[in-house]
């Protein structure tokens, strides 16, 4: 059995089994919310808070795992994370009330975040350049592909009133993940056992996630003007800003903010944030439309999303093919364009309840999700040294999750406040068009103002020599007076820059 330990197939399987179950739940539980409310004798707000706290725990988990991964051998920790996920899933399946469900969902989200950072960097950095295209394409399928399956799975589950069965299945998949990890997760030394615990980063990340996600979860039962919403929401966003400032000033921070502040990581982070926020929000809007306007039963509504994972699979294949070329940065622009086009198509959802735009929009949305979120994450990672990949992923994921799961509830609040359900959904779709379009503009503008060029990545130097995979000029270096960066292409004539 020890011969299998560290094998590529098992490490890849571990990563996928770790990520997929909870990510399916992230978009698959909405159709079952009413049934869960009835069965547990609780309120819709309690269910929303449970899911919001799960997302917050996921974000905190990636930051905590970034710390633990530097100081301790990962094999034993990963097995503990996987066991915690199984425990949370069993508690969710057997929950008799909202308190147990909240605790269960926190365990599920937190352990998935921990597993992500423990599973992805070894898969990416330990098997050479030849495996990278297949690895990143597979990660794309696991990291966001599972999210596109959520509406299909959720529709079938809600149609059969089987939300407890879903959690039992998720628990079984989690148990399989633990067994695969027991056999295949490799043993390797901690990269930096002497790294000091960054208490400020851990505390600020926890505050930011808890306050922001809790505020966005309770907004449905209060209002935008209520202090119960805006005080924790603003405080949470402020904690994110303070976290970035504090980490940028440290000589050895947990999260390498200064390395992530150059053009490539900034662009990748923005793409992941805007792509994730637009996709998750518009999927929730379509689910709401199908239930409240089109009056579709959950199973039929879920089946309308079948082109979404197909579109994502196409994007994952393109990501793998383009990963080692100079055109990876172009893929994310095409992805944001596809997201925008998918949202625009949904503007034609009939007020009378027709569903014809949904399948075509789903294909575009699936491709857009697959061409933005994971590629954006890796664009950011390729701008830092491979030894810091997990720590870079932690910050990018924290920002992406905050954008993704904080924006959606705000948009849904605006929609549900409308006197007309169809009109409210139409307004919400316009908002997502704006989000995706703004992301597209920024993904083009930041590289242009930074003097970035399309370059082929040096993957061998990244993995073997600890260098950056892609040259990343200073952000906006092309227009900032007094900033000279030999890696940046001039954006404006030199005389104009000197005059500025």
Residue-level length of the chain: 500
Max avg pLDDT among 131-140, 213-222, 432-441? 432-441
Strands (E) located in 304-444: none
Identify the sign of the CA torsion 140, 393, 408, 348.
negative
41 burial level (CB within 10 Å; 0-12, 13-18, 19+): exposed
Average pLDDT over residues 339-364: 93
d(CA 365, CA 337): 10
Q: Cα–Cα distances in Å, from 398 out to 57, 64, 145, 420, 499?
A: 10, 11, 19, 35, 39
Q: pTM of the entire structure?
A: 0.91
Name the phi and psi angles at 383, rounded to 5: -90, 0
Average pLDDT over residues 17-21: 93
Contacts of 411 (CB under 8 A, 6+ apart): 281, 284, 285, 428, 431, 432
| Per-residue pLDDT, 475 | 85
Average pLDDT over residues 41-69: 91
Average pLDDT over residues 244-257: 89
| Helix, strand, coil share of the chain (percent; to 5) | 75, 0, 25
* Whether the predicted pLDDT of 359 surpasses 90: yes
Contacts of 260 (CB under 8 A, 6+ apart): 266, 269, 380, 383, 384, 392, 395, 396
> How many CA atoms, within 13 angstroms, populate the side-chain half-sphere of residue 293?
23
pLDDT band at 353 (very low <50, low <70, confident <90, very high): confident
* Whether the predicted pLDDT of 500 surpasses 50: no
pLDDT digits (tens, 9 = 90+) for 430-440: 999 999 999 99
| Per-residue pLDDT, 440 | 96
Asked whether 487 and 402 are in contact (CB, 8 A), the reply is no
pLDDT band at 487 (very low <50, low <70, confident <90, very high): low
pLDDT band at 342 (very low <50, low <70, confident <90, very high): very high
Average pLDDT over residues 358-370: 96
Average pLDDT over residues 121-131: 87
| Per-residue pLDDT, 486 | 62
| Per-residue pLDDT, 146 | 86
Structure tokens at 50: 């449970």
Q: Cα–Cα distances in Å, from 483 out to 158, 263, 477, 479?
A: 57, 14, 6, 8
Pick the more confident residue, 168 or 143.
168
- Domains of the chain and CATH, by start: 1-195 (1.20.1250.20), 256-500 (1.20.1250.20)
Please, what is the angle between helix 307-322 and helix 328-345, to 10°? 160
130 burial level (CB within 10 Å; 0-12, 13-18, 19+): exposed
């Amino acid at each position: 059995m020890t011969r299998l330990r560290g094998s590529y197939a098992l490490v890849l399987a571990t990563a996928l089994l770790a990520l997929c179950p909870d990510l399916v739940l992230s978009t698959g539980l909405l159709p079952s919310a009413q049934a869960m409310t009835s069965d547990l004798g609780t309120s819709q707000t309690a269910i929303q808070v449970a899911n919001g706290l799960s997302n917050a725990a996921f974000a905190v988990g990636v930051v905590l795992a970034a710390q633990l991964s530097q100081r301790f051998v990962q094999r034993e920790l990963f097995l503990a994370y996987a066991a915690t996920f199984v425990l949370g899933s069993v508690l969710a399946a057997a929950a008799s009330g909202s308190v147990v469900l909240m605790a269960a969902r926190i365990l599920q989200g937190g352990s998935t975040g921990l597993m992500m950072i423990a599973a992805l960097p070894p898969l990416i950095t330990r098997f050479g350049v030849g495996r990278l295209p297949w690895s990143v394409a597979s990660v794309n399928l696991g990291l966001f592909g599972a999210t596109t399956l959520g509406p299909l799975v959720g529709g079938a589950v809600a149609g059969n009133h089987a939300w407890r069965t879903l959690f039992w299945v998720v628990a079984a998949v989690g148990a399989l993940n633990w067994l695969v990890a027991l056999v295949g997760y490799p043993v390797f030394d901690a990269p930096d056992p002497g790294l000091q615990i960054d208490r400020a980063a851990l505390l600020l990340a926890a505050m930011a996630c808890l306050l922001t996600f809790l505020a966005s979860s309770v907004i449905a039962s209060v209002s935008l003007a209520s202090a119960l919403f805006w005080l924790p929401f603003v405080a949470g966003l402020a904690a994110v800003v303070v976290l970035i400032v504090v980490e940028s000033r440290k000589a050895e921070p947990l999260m390498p903010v200064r390395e992530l502040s150059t053009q490539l990581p900034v662009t990748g982070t923005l793409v992941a944030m805007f792509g994730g926020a637009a996709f998750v929000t518009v999927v929730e809007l379509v689910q709401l439309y199908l239930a409240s306007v089109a009056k579709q039963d959950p199973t039929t509504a879920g089946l309308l999303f079948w082109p979404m994972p197909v579109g994502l699979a196409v994007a994952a294949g393109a990501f793998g093919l383009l990963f080692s070329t100079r055109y990876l940065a172009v893929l994310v622009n095409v992805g944001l364009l596809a997201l925008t086009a998918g949202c625009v198509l949904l503007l034609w959802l009939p007020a009378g309840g027709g569903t014809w735009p949904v399948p075509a929009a789903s294909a575009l949305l699936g491709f857009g999700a697959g061409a933005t979120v994971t590629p954006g994450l890796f664009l950011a990672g390729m701008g830092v040294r491979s030894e810091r990949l997990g720590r870079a992923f932690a910050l990018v994921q924290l920002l992406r999750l905050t954008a993704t799961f904080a924006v959606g509830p705000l948009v849904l609040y605006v929609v549900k406040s409308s006197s007309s359900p169809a009109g409210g959904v139409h307004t919400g779709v316009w908002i997502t068009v704006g989000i995706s379009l703004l992301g597209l503009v920024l993904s083009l503008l930041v590289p242009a103002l930074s003097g970035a060029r399309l370059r082929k990545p040096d993957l061998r130097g990244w993995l073997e020599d600890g260098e950056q995979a892609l040259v990343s000029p200073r952000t906006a270096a092309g227009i900032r007076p007094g900033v000279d960066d030999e890696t940046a292409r001039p954006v404006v004539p030199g005389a104009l820059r000197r005059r500025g």
